[in-house]
Structure 1
Amino acid sequence: MEAMRSRRAGAVQLRKRRSKLYSKEEAAAGAAGLFGESVYFVVFAVVFRVVNCGLVQTSFVPDEYWQAIEVAHNMTFNYGYLTWEWNEGLRGFTYPLLFAVLYKVLYWTGKDDVSFLIWLPRLLQAVFSSIADVRLYGLVRRMENSHVAKWVYLSQLCSWFTWYCSSRTLTNTMETVLGTLALYYYPLEGSPTKNSTKYLLFVALAFLVRPTALILWVPLLLYHFSKEQKKLDLLIHQCLPVGLLTLGGSLIIDWMYYGKWTIVQWNFLKFNVVQNLGSFYGSHPWHWYVTQGFPVIIGTHLPFFVHGCMVAPRRYRILLVAIVWTLLIYSTLSHKEFRFIYPVLPLCMIFCGFSFSNIKRWKKAAIGLLVLSNLLPALYTGLIHQRGALDIMTNVQQLCHKENSSLLVLMPCHSIPYYSHVHCPIKMNFLECPPDLEDHDTYIDEADVFYASPLAWLNAEFYDSRRLPTHLVLFSVLEQEISPFLTRNNYVRAASVFHTHLPEGRIGSHIYLYEQQVL
């Protein structure tokens, strides 16, 4: 009996020593690096994403400007354009406020040069993405070991779509960052440390930035709740305070800028999910994410992801459930985009890492294939495809130095950035395309009216030559159709920039800037 008691006491002491040792190791790691990870991975991740940022010089979707830095420019400098979503209270000011603070600092220090306004928000977003990279590595190192963690880290850095999006000022990018940080603190089975408050805080912040972020977290939250023994404590002492703090902060920020109490998260979900009015901007078949969307964004990681799902420990199956759930829920919505499912990629990289850690033969060949097959699309989409929308803004910026300059953008609405990339209050107009919120059967937006008969629209709009803008921006496919208008009003091509090798419909291979010559 005494021997048994002695062994039990010894086991208790051993567990205590191990617990203290773990705490000391964690504290030492925290002192060595900013995020509790090794200095090497922190520094490398930041440098990698900063280089990543510099090598992404193309446009992706309008929201990276019009729902982020364009709003921040308006908040800071009191001029600019807010899209219809802001008039309807569908968007929150919490995310743009991040860049507005940055812009305000630049203004106070007299450094609000247009190049800083363009690049610093992207650099800031790149740094946030690097933090997420490090946390993803740290999660797997803590749950498994450094060997598996390094393969997950490599998979993450090799992802062409993450490269393409990680430095863009998209709500989807910040949603992905916050979701990864939340995952780091999520109480997965077998996790040596648990901090429900922190993970719930990051989930709540992701919800504020983009309410659909909750879709990914529904199965994870339900799983946590089902496994939690003190369910009432979880709800009262953790969920409720975090929810009140974050939602309350969001309400106050939006009240300051809207001038009234506005629950933008509900308005956003009502428009995009309940009413499904996002279909106004295009619709896809229900299977699009499964047959096209997901295979494209995961790219050549796909076979490693599938293999990883088979060899990963059982406790990670909840992450696979979350991935499948997200794809299925988004598949029910008519309007689909690649970026909507970007937040599932970090979860996929965990399974890819398990795949590489279990490959015994042809590992070097597999790594070489992965790197090369992702490098080419990353560089092409980052440096070449759709770069004209940004390149033409260099020419537009020159209008700030010309008296009485005005610009009309004859392109699909929101094709190029706006005042955030010009930073002077010249008169600019573009073809607008707000959706029909009142359900009119015969509603046609201004852009569609224009493209139905461009020459007729221009002749009707500018019947008085005194109303003509001094400059026009248009895609090359439109030039021939409106050439009589251009000739008659003495417009000459002042600049031409390459845009894409894949012109389609209203999108041309080049973008032209026309200037009216004074006779």
Structure 2
Amino acid sequence: MENIRSRLKFGNKVEDVKLRKRKSQLYSKEDESSLNDGVLRARVVVFCVLLRLINCFLVQTSFVPDEYWQSLEVSHRMVFKYGYLTWEWKEGLRGFSYPLLFACIYKILYSINYDSVFLLIWLPRIIQAVLAAFADIKFFYLIQTLQSPDVAKWTFFCHLCSWFSWFCCTRTLSNSMETTLTCLALFYFPLPESKTHSSKKYLTLVALAVIIRPTALIVWFPLLMYHFCQEEDKLRLITHNYIPLGAVAVVLSTVIDCIFYEKLTLVQFNFLKFNIFHGVADFYGSHPWHWYLTQGFPVVIGPHLPLFLHGCSLAFKKYKILLVSIVWTVLVYSLLPHKEFRFIYPVLPFCMFFCGISLARLKAWRRAAALVLLVSNLSAALYTGLVHQRGTLDVMSHIQTLCDTSSTQSPPDVLFLMPCHSTPLYSHVHCPINMRFLECPPDLGEEGYIDEADIFYDDPLHWLRTSFPYKSSLPTHLVLFDVLEAEISVFLNGSSFARTAEIFHTHFPEGRVGGSVFIYERH
């Protein structure tokens, strides 16, 4: 009996040892998997930050005036107390929340005496690049939880190689911040099979996006309705999330705007009143209803378009709500007369879900397709970021040198004879020299309305002769596109102006915008 008992004990000990061994192997595999996952995520973080910083410094061209006139120019005036505000700020159409971010950066630089032109221009863009990288990282984490490793890899690849994201994400545009916040909010949104859902977090980010750009509500309206329909406790969602967070966002933005406007100003109401009910946006151009379908969306999504269409047929059921949001956004903006590429930029990350699924499904062809995708997007990104429309920024470096003019010379007086808001202004010069440009506010029904730019281009010589009847009133420098030179050559020669600089702008001159920018100086 004792032998039997001893054998049983020995057998139990052996089993215990084997069990412990199996457990230790299992734990070691879990630890190894966790370690590998941590290393992968750390690499993704470093890669995304480095990529967006490189992206930032390889975008040296201009896109639209709003990237300066609705952000950096406003921030510069907030901190340094000189500059120019466009008509939107005088009418209370724009909120100060977004410029306030850069104004804080400017204030810090000013307080430590590091407010150089280089830092004033590039530090806001670096901040924008880091935020874009953070959104990229969250996008990667999200697709990891929703898709297989293979599909997640190709989806992230599609996201990072988008030429339009490269072109826009590091710019100081409210649309860029709107897209960044939308991408971050998507991480916490209750997508099917999502493991990162947090109603308060995603709604807070959506509220911030709406504060910065009220039209963000267009993108998020179908998503909010989807969440409401899916939620079991609808009353709690409304009373604990929708109403409180919405109210805080409205109050916060209103307080900020009232402080800087120095009066009660409801920016969201003014924005709707002027742009929707009064149709002021039409003043800046209108397009046919199908423009987004035939031009806007194909250009924004670029070479990804075939993959997107293929991916929609494969993943329609799983990501139906994202497709609904894309279609809804394009349709709503199609109803508005004034259209721009950047307006639909926030739905671009949604499109990448479908592109990634398509690319992963190609299997034998996907490496070749990925190479074509990378080369075509990279070519477009580098050309638009380094070559196309760079003259209006480069010219400001020449103007900035006028700040160093000795006191014995007459103070610089620069006149920009270009379509209004073609260049930035004091945010890229940072000294209070006299600079003027042709103004073009919309007709708001006021008496004596004048569109200075249109009057000038109707008869440039007449405008110049009547505006400067005496030599003493002439500016010291003129900045113009090359297409205007022949038309005002008589004035230039008769007023002793000589060309001192020629700066490349674009290979595709159009209308009033020429291929080069000229600087003329009076001798």
TM-score, structure 2 as length reference: 0.91
Q: Give 1:290 shift.
A: 0.2
Q: Give 1:209 shift.
A: 0.7
Pairing of 1:250-289 with structure 2 (within 5 A): 250-289=253-292
Q: Would you say 1:301 and 2:308 are equivalent positions?
A: no
For residues 475 and 438 of structure 1, the distance between their equivalents in structure 2, rounded to whole angstroms, comes to 31
Instruction: Give the alignment partner of residue 62 of structure 1, picking from 59, 65, 72.
Output: 65
Partner residue, 1:17:
none
For residues 232 and 159 of structure 2, the distance between their equivalents in structure 1, rounded to whole angstroms, comes to 34
For residues 87 and 196 of structure 2, the distance between their equivalents in structure 1, rounded to whole angstroms, comes to 45
Instruction: Give the alignment partner of residue 516 of structure 1, picking from 495, 501, 522.
Output: 522
Partner residue, 2:502:
496
Q: Give 1:350 shift.
A: 1.1
Pairing of 1:199-218 with structure 2 (within 5 A): 199-218=202-221
Partner residue, 1:446:
452
Q: Check the 8 A contact 1:188/1:315 in 2, yes or no.
A: no
For residues 159 and 274 of structure 1, the distance between their equivalents in structure 2, rounded to whole angstroms, comes to 35
Partner residue, 2:480:
474
Q: Check the 8 A contact 2:187/2:197 in 1, yes or no.
A: no
For residues 276 and 369 of structure 2, the distance between their equivalents in structure 1, rounded to whole angstroms, comes to 40
Q: Would you say 1:162 and 2:169 are equivalent positions?
A: no
Stretch moving more, 359-368 or 175-184: 359-368
Partner residue, 2:438:
431
Cα shift readout 1:33-90 (whole Å, capped 9, x = no counterpart):
9xxx811111101100100111111000000011001101001101111100000000
Question: For structure 1, which runs of at least 5 residues remain unmatched after alignment?
Answer: 1-20
Q: Give 1:146 shift.
A: 2.8
For residues 369 and 403 of structure 2, the distance between their equivalents in structure 1, rounded to whole angstroms, comes to 52
Partner residue, 2:7:
none
SS at match of 1:428: strand
Cα shift readout 1:90-141 (whole Å, capped 9, x = no counterpart):
0000000110011111111111000110111111111111111111111111
Question: For structure 2, which runs of at least 5 residues remain unmatched after alignment?
Answer: 1-26
Partner residue, 1:421:
428
Stretch moving more, 143-152 or 158-167: 143-152
Q: Would you say 1:334 and 2:337 are equivalent positions?
A: yes
For residues 497 and 255 of structure 2, the distance between their equivalents in structure 1, rounded to whole angstroms, comes to 49
SS at match of 2:431: coil
Q: Check the 8 A contact 1:152/1:352 in 2, yes or no.
A: yes
Instruction: Give the alignment partner of residue 393 of structure 1, picking from 392, 396, 405.
Output: 396
Structure 1 runs (4+) greater than 6 angstroms displaced:
none
Q: Would you say 1:124 and 2:124 are equivalent positions?
A: no
Partner residue, 1:236:
239
Q: Which amino acid aligns with 1:390?
A: L
Cα shift readout 1:239-276 (whole Å, capped 9, x = no counterpart):
12211222211111111100012111121122222332
Q: Give 1:398 shift.
A: 0.9
SS at match of 1:514: strand
Partner residue, 2:16:
none
SS at match of 2:319: helix
Q: Would you say 1:463 and 2:463 are equivalent positions?
A: no
Partner residue, 1:5:
none
Larger Rg: 2
For residues 188 and 362 of structure 1, the distance between their equivalents in structure 2, rounded to whole angstroms, comes to 30
Q: How many residues align?
A: 489
SS at match of 1:484: helix
Instruction: Give the alignment partner of residue 487 of structure 1, picking from 466, 488, 493.
Output: 493
For residues 32 and 108 of structure 1, the distance between their equivalents in structure 2, rounded to whole angstroms, comes to 39
SS at match of 1:417: coil
Partner residue, 2:511:
505
Q: Which amino acid aligns with 1:461?
A: S
Q: Give 1:315 shift.
A: 2.8
For residues 273 and 120 of structure 1, the distance between their equivalents in structure 2, rounded to whole angstroms, comes to 35
Q: Check the 8 A contact 1:62/1:416 in 2, yes or no.
A: yes
SS at match of 1:434: coil
Identical aligned pairs, as a percentage?
57
Q: Check the 8 A contact 1:92/1:264 in 2, yes or no.
A: yes
Q: Which amino acid aligns with 1:499?
A: H
For residues 439 and 255 of structure 1, the distance between their equivalents in structure 2, rounded to whole angstroms, comes to 25
Instruction: Give the alignment partner of residue 152 of structure 1, picking from 150, 155, 161.
Output: 155
For residues 180 and 363 of structure 1, the distance between their equivalents in structure 2, rounded to whole angstroms, comes to 26
Q: Give 1:32 shift.
A: 5.0
Instruction: Give the alignment partner of residue 74 of structure 1, picking from 77, 80, 88.
Output: 77
SS at match of 1:314: coil
Q: Would you say 1:171 and 2:178 are equivalent positions?
A: no
SS at match of 2:217: helix
Q: Would you say 1:84 and 2:65 are equivalent positions?
A: no
TM-score, structure 1 as length reference: 0.91
For residues 150 and 109 of structure 2, the distance between their equivalents in structure 1, rounded to whole angstroms, comes to 43
For residues 117 and 453 of structure 2, the distance between their equivalents in structure 1, rounded to whole angstroms, comes to 28
Q: Check the 8 A contact 1:276/1:333 in 2, yes or no.
A: no
Q: Check the 8 A contact 2:187/2:196 in 1, yes or no.
A: no
Q: Give 1:502 shift.
A: 0.4
SS at match of 1:57: coil
For residues 345 and 192 of structure 1, the distance between their equivalents in structure 2, rounded to whole angstroms, comes to 22
Cα shift readout 1:457-491 (whole Å, capped 9, x = no counterpart):
00000012221111110001111111111111111
Q: Check the 8 A contact 2:316/2:323 in 1, yes or no.
A: no
For residues 439 and 176 of structure 1, the distance between their equivalents in structure 2, rounded to whole angstroms, comes to 36
For residues 230 and 269 of structure 1, the distance between their equivalents in structure 2, rounded to whole angstroms, comes to 32
For residues 445 and 223 of structure 1, the distance between their equivalents in structure 2, rounded to whole angstroms, comes to 45
Q: Which amino acid aligns with 2:201?
A: K
Q: Which amino acid aligns with 2:53?
A: V
Stretch moving more, 236-245 or 347-356: 236-245
SS at match of 2:137: helix
Partner residue, 1:103:
106
Q: Which amino acid aligns with 2:511?
A: G
SS at match of 2:520: strand
For residues 86 and 348 of structure 2, the distance between their equivalents in structure 1, rounded to whole angstroms, comes to 29
Partner residue, 2:315:
312
Q: Would you say 1:114 and 2:121 are equivalent positions?
A: no
CA distance 1:97–1:32, change in 2 (3 Å): farther
For residues 197 and 136 of structure 2, the distance between their equivalents in structure 1, rounded to whole angstroms, comes to 20
Q: Would you say 1:379 and 2:385 are equivalent positions?
A: no
Q: Which amino acid aligns with 1:411?
A: M
SS at match of 1:285: coil
Cα shift readout 1:372-394 (whole Å, capped 9, x = no counterpart):
11111111100100010111111
SS at match of 2:318: helix
Q: Which amino acid aligns with 1:164?
A: F
Q: Which amino acid aligns with 2:507?
A: H
Q: Which amino acid aligns with 2:240?
A: H
For residues 374 and 350 of structure 2, the distance between their equivalents in structure 1, rounded to whole angstroms, comes to 19
For residues 80 and 138 of structure 2, the distance between their equivalents in structure 1, rounded to whole angstroms, comes to 35
Q: Check the 8 A contact 1:212/1:269 in 2, yes or no.
A: no
Stretch moving more, 425-434 or 150-159: 150-159
For residues 284 and 197 of structure 2, the distance between their equivalents in structure 1, rounded to whole angstroms, comes to 42
For residues 444 and 489 of structure 1, the distance between their equivalents in structure 2, rounded to whole angstroms, comes to 26
Instruction: Give the alignment partner of residue 44 of structure 2, picking from 41, 44, 49.
Output: 41
